[in-house]
Structure 1
Amino acid sequence: MPQTYFYLNGPSDPYFPEQELIRLDQAGYTVALSRVAIDHVQQCVGTEERTALNGLLRRAAPGDELVVLDLSSLGSGARDVLATLQKCRKEKIAVRCIEFGQMDLASHPESQAIKMLEAVVRLEAQTRSERSSTSLKRAQESGRPTGRPGSLSPQDREEVIELLAKDVSISEIARRFGTSRQTIMRIRASTAVPATEDGKSGD
């Protein structure tokens, strides 16, 4: 027989989750405490780290339903919420959110709510990409360094330059400092340390 599970996430205080349970009752649900899962994590914490929610989803079977009070219970952002709903959809677990009424957010075919979340995720991705491009362009125009920061400290760089001047090979220096040959080669290029005739520093 299909079961109805409830998931709540909120602070650890004397008023939680009594008020939330009252809201579920007012929405017409008969809440069995044995089927209630509760997390006490901040909203910014993703679903992977919501222990009670993951345990509940492992416990639920196809045909069961998950009830939450609001969309934030399902993840830390649009992408996270969408991933949770897609997982439930794949496992054939219905998801009902009180703030959205009685519709199954994980239904087949996709609900309008899912389509809206997908659109929001695409919008967020485009916005991040545009912000990144704009920041990179501004940095280049102002002459600020771009790309990945150097993997070596200023002191390490000085030691690398000294080793290069002593004709220690690039491969050996990279091994000593646990970095890549490309990093050492960039340092050599930036300091104009020439390769020796026997090619040691250019190894």
Structure 2
Amino acid sequence: MATNKTIPPHFQPDGPAHKTYFYINNPHARQFPEQELIDLDRAGYTVVLNRVAVDNVPPFVPAADRMELKALLRRIAPEDALVVLELSSLGCNARDVLWTLMQCRKAKIAVRCVELGGAELTRRPEPQAVKTLRAIIRMETTARSERSASSLKSAREKGRPTGRPASLSPADHERILRFLGKGLSVSEVARRFGTSRQTVMRVRAAAALQPKDS
């Protein structure tokens, strides 16, 4: 008996040249993702098992470190589609998810998410879901910037030192100058102290600006 399925918006079945792939991240179980496949079927997709990739990594793992997702994205051809159940499958936060979507857009891969109704997320003009992601990222960036500015202001008012802590002690500075005075190159001194050439050059420049004893 035929079953009625709700076909998601913008959904197009596989044509002769286009294929649909599926990615699942199940951080809590390593068994066959039967329930997830059932959910995809209920959403109107015909799942071909050799086009399914599954990771079992925690949600905080970035998309770039999800090995099965990376392999799948290398496998998918332009104009093919990638389907996920949840937006969190594509990254560990809003910025990471947007990065994945933009990589897919560059590769001409259509991305659809079941929890968002199956709308194509890489199309132009951008769907509301992607605009919302961008708004969240802007909000987080603004909040982070304001927190940093507030902390810096508070530290200055309390007389605390601000900026990055010095990586080298005053004694290290003196030793660096001695080594440079003996003719060692900036690169060699940097290697000996485990620091960058720029740091060594700043030490040398600062010493040159100090007044000489008369």
* TM-score over 0.5 (shorter chain): yes
Pairwise CA distance, 1:62: 2.0
Q: CA separation in 2, counterparts of 1:163 and 1:4?
A: 60
Deviating beyond 6 angstroms after TM superposition, the runs of 4 or more aligned structure 1 residues are 184-189
Matches within 5 A, 1:182-197: 182-183=202-203, 195-197=212-214
Matches within 5 A, 1:108-119: 108-119=124-135
Note the residue ranges of structure 2 that are not aligned, 5 or more in a row.
Answer: 1-16
Matches within 5 A, 1:29-178: 29-152=45-168, 157-158=170-171, 160=173, 169=181, 175=189, 177=193, 178=195
Letter in 2 for 1:47: A
1:200 counterpart residue number:
none
1:180 is aligned, of 200, 208, 212, to: 200
Do the aligned partners of 1:161 and 1:188 also contact (CA within 8 Å) in 2?
no
Most deviating of 57-66 and 7-16 = 7-16
> Superposition RMSD on alpha carbons, in Å?
3.0
Q: CA separation in 2, counterparts of 1:3 and 1:131?
A: 46
Letter in 2 for 1:180: V
| SS in structure 2 at match of 1:126 | helix
Q: CA separation in 2, counterparts of 1:56 and 1:108?
A: 23
Pair 98,24 (structure 1): closer, same or farther in 2 beyond 3 Å: same
Pair 159,147 (structure 1): closer, same or farther in 2 beyond 3 Å: closer
Note the residue ranges of structure 1 that are not aligned, 5 or more in a row.
Answer: 198-203
1:201 counterpart residue number:
none
1:17 counterpart residue number:
33
Identity %: 52
| Count of equivalent residues | 189
Pairwise CA distance, 1:158: 3.6
Q: CA separation in 2, counterparts of 1:187 and 1:132?
A: 31
Q: CA separation in 2, counterparts of 1:159 and 1:12?
A: 50
TM-score, length of structure 2 as denominator length: 0.75
Pair 158,87 (structure 1): closer, same or farther in 2 beyond 3 Å: closer
Q: CA separation in 2, counterparts of 1:101 and 1:93?
A: 18
